Amino acid sequence: MTDRGGGARGAGADLPDAELHAEGFRKTREAQRSALAEDYVELIADLIENGQEARQVDIAARLGVAQPTVARMLDRLAADGLVYRKPYRAVFLTESGRRIAEESRERHQTVVAFLRSLGVSADTARIDAEGIEHHVSAETLDAFRRALAKAG
Protein backbone atom coordinates (compact mmCIF):
# COMPACT_ATOMS: atom_id res chain seq x y z
CA MET A 1 0.00 0.00 0.00
CA THR A 2 1.29 3.50 -0.75
CA ASP A 3 0.58 6.84 0.85
CA ARG A 4 -0.71 9.86 -1.07
CA GLY A 5 2.85 11.06 -1.45
CA GLY A 6 3.82 7.91 -3.34
CA GLY A 7 5.76 6.16 -0.57
CA ALA A 8 5.00 2.91 1.21
CA ARG A 9 2.45 3.01 4.01
CA GLY A 10 2.78 1.14 7.23
CA ALA A 11 5.15 1.02 10.17
CA GLY A 12 8.18 3.21 9.61
CA ALA A 13 6.91 4.63 6.31
CA ASP A 14 7.75 8.20 5.41
CA LEU A 15 4.80 10.55 5.75
CA PRO A 16 4.23 13.32 3.23
CA ASP A 17 4.92 16.90 4.24
CA ALA A 18 2.36 18.03 6.85
CA GLU A 19 0.84 20.70 4.60
CA LEU A 20 0.45 18.24 1.70
CA HIS A 21 -1.01 15.69 4.08
CA ALA A 22 -3.48 18.22 5.49
CA GLU A 23 -4.45 19.40 1.98
CA GLY A 24 -5.50 15.87 1.05
CA PHE A 25 -7.77 15.65 4.07
CA ARG A 26 -9.18 19.16 3.46
CA LYS A 27 -10.08 18.25 -0.11
CA THR A 28 -11.74 15.02 1.04
CA ARG A 29 -13.85 16.85 3.64
CA GLU A 30 -14.85 19.47 1.07
CA ALA A 31 -15.81 16.78 -1.44
CA GLN A 32 -17.90 14.97 1.16
CA ARG A 33 -19.78 18.17 1.99
CA SER A 34 -20.60 18.90 -1.64
CA ALA A 35 -21.20 15.30 -2.79
CA LEU A 36 -24.71 15.01 -1.37
CA ALA A 37 -25.83 18.34 -2.79
CA GLU A 38 -24.41 17.37 -6.20
CA ASP A 39 -26.21 14.03 -6.10
CA TYR A 40 -29.51 15.76 -5.34
CA VAL A 41 -29.27 18.42 -8.05
CA GLU A 42 -28.06 15.87 -10.61
CA LEU A 43 -31.03 13.59 -9.80
CA ILE A 44 -33.47 16.51 -9.94
CA ALA A 45 -32.07 17.50 -13.36
CA ASP A 46 -32.35 13.90 -14.58
CA LEU A 47 -35.98 13.63 -13.46
CA ILE A 48 -36.91 16.92 -15.12
CA GLU A 49 -35.04 16.11 -18.35
CA ASN A 50 -36.80 12.75 -18.56
CA GLY A 51 -40.17 14.51 -18.56
CA GLN A 52 -40.97 13.77 -14.94
CA GLU A 53 -41.55 16.09 -12.05
CA ALA A 54 -38.89 16.10 -9.39
CA ARG A 55 -41.20 15.34 -6.48
CA GLN A 56 -39.96 14.74 -2.95
CA VAL A 57 -41.38 11.20 -2.97
CA ASP A 58 -39.54 10.34 -6.21
CA ILE A 59 -36.27 11.79 -4.97
CA ALA A 60 -36.56 9.77 -1.75
CA ALA A 61 -37.28 6.55 -3.65
CA ARG A 62 -34.37 6.99 -6.07
CA LEU A 63 -31.87 7.90 -3.33
CA GLY A 64 -33.15 5.23 -0.94
CA VAL A 65 -33.81 7.67 1.89
CA ALA A 66 -36.84 8.77 3.88
CA GLN A 67 -38.94 11.72 2.75
CA PRO A 68 -38.10 13.80 5.85
CA THR A 69 -34.41 13.41 4.92
CA VAL A 70 -35.18 14.73 1.43
CA ALA A 71 -37.22 17.61 2.88
CA ARG A 72 -34.29 18.71 5.06
CA MET A 73 -31.87 18.52 2.14
CA LEU A 74 -34.23 20.44 -0.14
CA ASP A 75 -34.44 23.15 2.54
CA ARG A 76 -30.63 23.32 2.54
CA LEU A 77 -30.45 23.39 -1.27
CA ALA A 78 -33.07 26.16 -1.37
CA ALA A 79 -31.12 28.17 1.21
CA ASP A 80 -27.98 27.69 -0.92
CA GLY A 81 -29.85 28.99 -3.98
CA LEU A 82 -29.74 25.72 -5.93
CA VAL A 83 -33.44 24.79 -5.99
CA TYR A 84 -36.80 26.39 -5.53
CA ARG A 85 -40.16 24.88 -4.71
CA LYS A 86 -43.69 25.90 -5.28
CA PRO A 87 -46.31 24.85 -2.73
CA TYR A 88 -47.78 21.44 -3.59
CA ARG A 89 -45.57 21.22 -6.68
CA ALA A 90 -42.30 19.67 -7.69
CA VAL A 91 -38.77 20.91 -7.09
CA PHE A 92 -37.04 23.04 -9.73
CA LEU A 93 -33.39 23.92 -10.24
CA THR A 94 -32.09 27.46 -10.28
CA GLU A 95 -29.48 28.41 -12.87
CA SER A 96 -26.77 27.65 -10.28
CA GLY A 97 -28.37 24.29 -9.56
CA ARG A 98 -28.49 23.45 -13.27
CA ARG A 99 -24.82 24.36 -13.67
CA ILE A 100 -23.78 22.15 -10.74
CA ALA A 101 -25.91 19.28 -12.07
CA GLU A 102 -24.30 19.59 -15.50
CA GLU A 103 -20.77 19.66 -14.06
CA SER A 104 -21.51 16.68 -11.83
CA ARG A 105 -23.02 14.71 -14.72
CA GLU A 106 -19.98 15.44 -16.92
CA ARG A 107 -17.57 14.28 -14.18
CA HIS A 108 -19.68 11.16 -13.68
CA GLN A 109 -19.69 10.34 -17.40
CA THR A 110 -15.92 10.83 -17.64
CA VAL A 111 -15.26 8.54 -14.68
CA VAL A 112 -17.64 5.87 -16.02
CA ALA A 113 -16.02 6.00 -19.46
CA PHE A 114 -12.55 5.74 -17.95
CA LEU A 115 -13.49 2.77 -15.76
CA ARG A 116 -15.17 1.08 -18.72
CA SER A 117 -11.97 1.60 -20.76
CA LEU A 118 -10.14 -0.37 -18.07
CA GLY A 119 -12.55 -3.27 -18.50
CA VAL A 120 -14.82 -2.58 -15.53
CA SER A 121 -18.39 -3.78 -16.12
CA ALA A 122 -21.04 -1.15 -16.87
CA ASP A 123 -22.93 -1.67 -13.60
CA THR A 124 -19.80 -1.60 -11.44
CA ALA A 125 -18.43 1.45 -13.29
CA ARG A 126 -21.70 3.31 -12.73
CA ILE A 127 -21.77 2.45 -9.02
CA ASP A 128 -18.09 3.20 -8.44
CA ALA A 129 -18.32 6.48 -10.34
CA GLU A 130 -20.92 7.70 -7.82
CA GLY A 131 -18.19 7.98 -5.19
CA ILE A 132 -15.20 8.77 -7.36
CA GLU A 133 -16.83 11.66 -9.23
CA HIS A 134 -17.02 13.76 -6.07
CA HIS A 135 -13.45 13.16 -4.96
CA VAL A 136 -11.50 13.28 -8.20
CA SER A 137 -9.46 16.41 -8.89
CA ALA A 138 -9.60 18.44 -12.08
CA GLU A 139 -6.05 17.28 -12.82
CA THR A 140 -7.04 13.62 -12.54
CA LEU A 141 -10.18 14.14 -14.65
CA ASP A 142 -8.02 15.74 -17.33
CA ALA A 143 -5.71 12.71 -17.20
CA PHE A 144 -8.76 10.42 -17.58
CA ARG A 145 -9.88 12.45 -20.62
CA ARG A 146 -6.41 12.31 -22.20
CA ALA A 147 -6.24 8.55 -21.66
CA LEU A 148 -9.70 8.13 -23.19
CA ALA A 149 -8.75 10.28 -26.19
CA LYS A 150 -5.64 8.17 -26.79
CA ALA A 151 -7.62 4.94 -26.50
CA GLY A 152 -10.43 6.21 -28.73
∠ CA 19-135-116, rounded to 5°? 135
Helix H segments across 50-135?
56-63, 67-79, 95-117, 122-135
Give me the pLDDT at residue 53, please.
86
Q: Domain 28-151 classified CATH 2.70.210.12? A: no
Q: Hey, which residues does 89 pair with through a beta bridge?
A: none
Average pLDDT over residues 131-145: 91
pTM: 0.73
Give tens-digit pLDDT for 94-135: 999 999 999 999 999 999 999 999 999 999 999 999 889 888
Give tens-digit pLDDT for 15-38: 778 887 777 777 767 766 788 899
